[in-house]
Chain A
Amino acid sequence: MTTTETTLVPNFDDDETERKIAFICSKGNLDMAYPALVLANAALGEGIETHLFFTFWGFDMITKSRMNDLKFSPVGNTAMHLPVGDVRIPQALAPLPGMQPMATKMIKDQIAALGVPEVPEFLDQIVASGGKLWACRMSADMNHLTESDLYDGVEAIINASDFIEMTDGAQLLFI
C-alpha cells in the first residue's frame, strides 16, 4: 500500500485534441452495422473527433426506408451458432425460408438484452455525442437517393475526394 502526499488525479488528457478517427461503413447486414457504431460511440466518449462515412451496402444504415429493417443471415456464416451451447446451423439449412427472420430476431434480442439500441437510435446517440455522419456520393447516385431520403443526422453527401481530404491525419477503419 502506498500513500501519496499529493492528490492522485486521473489524467483525462483534455489537451490532447489531435486524435481523429474515421470509420468507413460498407456493409448493410445487421451484424456488420454494429462494429462501427460501438467503436465510434466509444471514441466519442473518449473525446476523439469521430467521422462515419457510409458507402455501398453501408448506405442502408442511413437510408430512412431501410435503416429500421437491417437483416442478419446465417447464409455463408459458418460461425453462426445458437445462443445456447455450441450448436451450429448446418449451412444446407441456412437458406431455408424462415431462417433469416429467425436469425435476425435472435440477434436483435441479444443486442437489446445488453441495453444496446437499434441502429437508428444508436445513430441518434452518436450525433448527440458530436459524431459526424457522411454519405457517399457514388452510392447516393447509384441508388437514386438524395439527402431527403437519408437519416436527418447525416451532414451531407460528399464525394471520395472530400472524404480523403477531410480525414487528413485521421485513423481509418474500413468495416
Chain B
Amino acid sequence: MPVTTINGREIHVDDEGFLTEYDEWDEDLAKVLAANISVDLTDDHWAVIKFVRDDYKAQGETPTIRRVSTAGGTDTKKLFQLFPKKPAKKMSYIAGVPKPHGCV
C-alpha cells in the first residue's frame, strides 16, 4: 500500500490515491484533496462530505450517489453540480473513504 505526502504529512492511500486510513483524514486535509481535483469547497460540499464520512462509519461502506441523495439530503442533480462528472468518486476521495462498491 503506497504512502503519499499530502500537506506535508505522510498519508496512506491505495494505488489510485484514495485514503485507506479513516482516521488520517481531517478538514485541512480535505481542503488539499479538494484542491488536488479542482473542487472549490462550499458549505454544500461540506454537508455532503460530512454525511459520507458519518455514513461510512455507521454502515461500514461508502454511500452511493443514490444513498447520499435519499438519506443524505443532497439531491442527485445537486451532487453532479458540486462534484462534476464523477460525483461518487470525487466525494469519496475528498471525504477520505474508499470508492463506493454498490452498483446503484
Contact = CB atoms under 8 A, between A and B. Distances in A.
A and B co-occur in one complex: yes
Interface of A: 1-12, 14, 38, 41-42, 45-47, 114-117, 122, 125, 128-130
A71 B82 CA distance: 37
Contact of A47 (B16, B86, B102): B86
A8 B4 CA distance: 6
Interface of B: 1-6, 10, 13, 16-18, 36-38, 65-67, 69-70, 75-77, 80, 84-90, 93, 102-104
Contacts of A128: 75-77, 80
Contacts of A38: 103-104
Contacts of A42: 103
A38 B4 CA distance: 35
Given A14-B85, A117-B66, 16 more contacts: A1-B2, A2-B2, A3-B4, A5-B5, A6-B5, A8-B2, A9-B17, A10-B16, A11-B16, A38-B104, A114-B102, A114-B104, A116-B66, A128-B80, A129-B77, A129-B80
B76 A129 contact: yes
Contacts of B16: 8, 10-11
Nearest to B71: A115
B10 A10 contact: no
Contacts of B89: 10, 12
26 contacts: A1-B2, A2-B2, A3-B3, A3-B5, A6-B5, A7-B17, A8-B13, A9-B17, A9-B37, A10-B89, A10-B93, A12-B89, A38-B103, A38-B104, A41-B104, A42-B103, A45-B65, A45-B86, A45-B87, A47-B85, A114-B104, A116-B66, A116-B104, A117-B104, A129-B65, A130-B80
